[in-house]
Amino acid sequence: MTNSNKRANALADRLILGAMKLAEFAEGLTDLEWNTPVLGDGRTIGVVVHHVASVYPIEVELAQILSKGNPITEVTKEAIDTMNAEHAIEYKQADRQKTLDLLRTNSENAANAIREFTDEELDKSAPVSLYHDAPLTAQFFIEDHALRHSFHHLGKIKASLI
């Protein structure tokens, strides 16, 4: 195994860890809890879990763009807010089992895609519109989005149920 595979595998393993922690927690929720709004967010826990599951492909695709040294130009806070609002409407009645299946499938697919990155690709950087065109590496983008996403929302979900 090359060094690049070790780095990529470590990133992928951490992504899977977060997705599994989120899935395991969500499996233990009551129906009332699944439909509880997340504090400071407004979307229900079920919608947020579905959101995490559904954006893995997008997050990895954006990291792949960076890994080739190409900029991310159309992703803004406003675009993300619009995407999230539309998703919340479409999936306001997110089925728990289908959502958890999607979470597992998409996180596995994302992890497999991340395992394909080389060190050189992880280290490539380009401007990212979401960060005011700061030149970010593909590895940073993976860590700040696909990898962090499930941990971030799990923390907010737990805080909403206290």
pLDDT in tens, 127-138: 999 999 999 999
DSSP SS3 for 127: strand
Report pLDDT for 132. 96
Mean pLDDT in residue range 27-41: 96
pTM: 0.94
Distance CA 48, CA 156 (A): 10
Report pLDDT for 19. 98
Distance CA 38, CA 134 (A): 30
pLDDT averaged over every residue in the chain:
95
Angle at 37 between CA 91 and CA 43, to 5 degrees: 40
Report pLDDT for 162. 85
Which residues, in sequence order, are CB contacts of 60 under 8 Å at separation 6+? 109, 110, 113, 114, 142, 146
